[in-house]
Structure 1
Amino acid sequence: MALSLSPIVADTGTIYATQTDATSAIDPLKASAGVLYKVEINNADNPSPVFVKLFNSANPLAVTVGTTAPEWVFKCPASVTRVYSAPKGSAFSAGLLACCVTTPGTGGTANPTNDVVYRILLG
């Protein structure tokens, strides 16, 4: 797993989280309140859709993938890249955690077959 957090210069957000091998493992993106601006999902290497789930929590131990309801779920169809933008942002109050699975909604814990890359812009 290769998660990186980088400051952004001259952009809407201040943190650009990039995960190059997204799985059902929880990635801590931000440990405090903030704003979600953009989610980009590259699912080019998979024959099935994937779902990036975001949780409004600063504590990875408070989230059980497949049981805890996510705040947001972003679908990326098979073999493509999708970008979801919220130019004015969407606020979260506690922090932000992310994971990527093959099932929409709350349920599902299966990892994608091949690498999925996500990039998330936060403020």
Structure 2
Amino acid sequence: MISDRVRHDLLKKTIIAKVDLMAYLQLRKAKGYMSVAESHYLRDNLFDLCKEYRRHYALLKQTQKSTELAAFTQCLDALSGAAVCLMTGQHDCPLYITVDAEKLERAIITLQRCTHLLSDLRKPAEA
């Protein structure tokens, strides 16, 4: 069914985005700053994923349970928040950016919680 494929693709892309955010945050904490190019690249990827969520929202709304739809909506909120966070922090130097690590951590925690929930809801029942 097409809705299952869309759901699977969105979940897979969300997990990849979460891993990318975790790697970015780890580097950000180690260095204290990131290059503008790295931040823009990740931000653009997050916004693209948000666009894909919105494009498929009607299908998800029709085919998913309310708990799954709520988890997808929370993923969208976390991705959007992280992308906006990556837009800030370029104050003194045009080449480097300092983003709010706490906001990124909150987004990652939300993404972890929601992706675990979505993964658990689709596991086949054991006999």
Band of TM-score, shorter chain: under 0.3
Structure with higher RCO (Cα < 8 A, 6+ apart):
1
Q: What TM-score results when the alignment is normalised by the length of structure 2? A: 0.27
Q: Which has the higher strand share?
A: 1
Q: What TM-score results when the alignment is normalised by the length of structure 1? A: 0.28
Q: Which has the larger radius of gyration?
A: 2
